[in-house]
Amino acid sequence: MKTKEEQFNSLKLSGIFMLIMNILMLLVISAAFVWAVSTTDLDSFLKISVLVILAVLFIINCIFWGGFMLIEPNEVMVMIFFGKYDGTIKENGFWWVNPFYTKKKLTMRARNLDAEPIKVNDKTGNPIMIGVVVVWRVVDTYKASFNIDSGSMATHVAGASVPGAVRLNEKMMAYQNFVKIQSDSALRNVAGMYAYDHAGAGSNDELTLRSGGDAINSILENQLNERLEIAGIEVVEARINYLAYAPEIAAVMLRRQQADAIISAREKIVDGAVGMVKLALDKLSAEQIIELDDDKKAAMVSNLMVVLCSEDSTQPIINAGTLYN
């Protein structure tokens, strides 16, 4: 019993050749039937025998028509003989096989899943909205056909006359639904492993959802591949395409981010102002332009800090008297 994907090695003939042979066979049977009915050279028993043989050949010819199949590029045909997996045909073209084979078509073309953002909690417990785009394809036809129940997940009514293209599309949509559910599971797991940004992380060097970029996407892709391996599906690419705080805390977090930005800007302004004041005092002292005592230095430092750190333009006051007035 085969338990993994294998190449189909049973009888497989050119579809064009068998089409010509079937047409010729049908013409010969039809001509022989007309001759048998119209001839008087045969006794009744022999005529009935010939007609029975022709009827059997006609039935066989009708059965042979069920062995044709067309395989397009990046499509495969899973062959099942009375419930037994007998291999997968991946060669493109028009083929004929034993008509008693059950043929299940699968496409190995890449498909895209743009999942709606879901609400999850990050590592610090903050509710966030996160979405993902997944590019996936079927790579193992045995697992895809027999390890998950794609047949009952399809929406068509059993026994109804449904075109093959529609059945294939419904089957692939069933796989896509499987990928979506597993994507949500992996996304929740990854989001719970990391904080949204550095404000909720332990240090600025810690990986976060917002700053992780390719590293987070790589972790998500690996987790998806682990979950989808059972279905014979490979994730070509997985990327977070939406990331934001949940609406109920978005306003508060925006104010926090604004406060962090203001504090960071103020720190740079103060650092620059202190450096400029120190430079001014050192230059005045080095070039002996003026001698300042501690009180005047303190006053000068205070004035310079106000001028340099103020958000609004300061209005200077000119001292028309002496330095000590």
Mean pLDDT of the chain: 83
Decide if 318 is inside a domain.
no
Higher pLDDT, 252 or 35: 35
Check pLDDT > 60 for residue 202.
no
Q: Are residues 146 and 60 in the same domain?
A: no
- Residue 184 Cα to chain centre, angstroms: 11
Tell me the torsion sign for CA atoms 163, 169, 172, 176: negative
Domain-ending residue, one of 106, 125, 148 = 106
What is the predicted pLDDT for the residue at 288? 66
Q: Are residues 138 and 64 in the same domain?
A: no
What is the predicted pLDDT for the residue at 197? 81
What is the predicted pLDDT for the residue at 159? 45
Q: Are residues 233 and 280 in the same domain?
A: no
40-89: pLDDT as tens digits: 777 788 888 889 999 999 999 999 999 999 999 999 999 999 989 999 99
Higher pLDDT, 317 or 115: 115
Phi and psi at residue 93, in whole multiples of 5°?
A: 135, -170
Report the distance separating Cα 81 and Cα 87, nearest Å: 10
Phi and psi at residue 79, in whole multiples of 5°?
A: -100, 125
Decide if 323 is inside a domain.
no
Report CA-CA distances (Å) from 75 to 93, 113, 179, 225: 10, 20, 19, 22
Number of domains in the chain: 3
Q: Are residues 231 and 258 in the same domain?
A: no
Decide if 197 is inside a domain.
yes
14 DSSP β-pair partners: 95
Decide if 3 is inside a domain.
no
244-278: pLDDT as tens digits: 888 776 666 677 666 667 777 777 877 787 888 77
Domain-ending residue, one of 219, 245, 271 = 245
**Listed residue (141, 84, 101, 83) closest to 13, CA to CA:** 101
**Listed residue (48, 150, 65, 66) closest to 106, CA to CA:** 150
What is the predicted pLDDT for the residue at 160? 47
Domain that holds residue 274: 251-309
Domain-ending residue, one of 196, 226, 245 = 245
Report the distance separating Cα 233 and Cα 222, nearest Å: 12
43 DSSP β-pair partners: none
Here the tokens at position 86 are 């007998």
Q: Are 153 and 174 within 8 A, CB to CB?
A: yes
Q: Are residues 191 and 239 in the same domain?
A: yes
Q: Are residues 156 and 268 in the same domain?
A: no
Q: Are residues 137 and 199 in the same domain?
A: yes
H or E segment at 268?
A: helix 247-286
Q: What number of CA atoms fall less than 13 Å from residue 141's CA on the CB side?
A: 25
Report the distance separating Cα 43 and Cα 33, nearest Å: 15
Q: Are residues 130 and 169 in the same domain?
A: yes
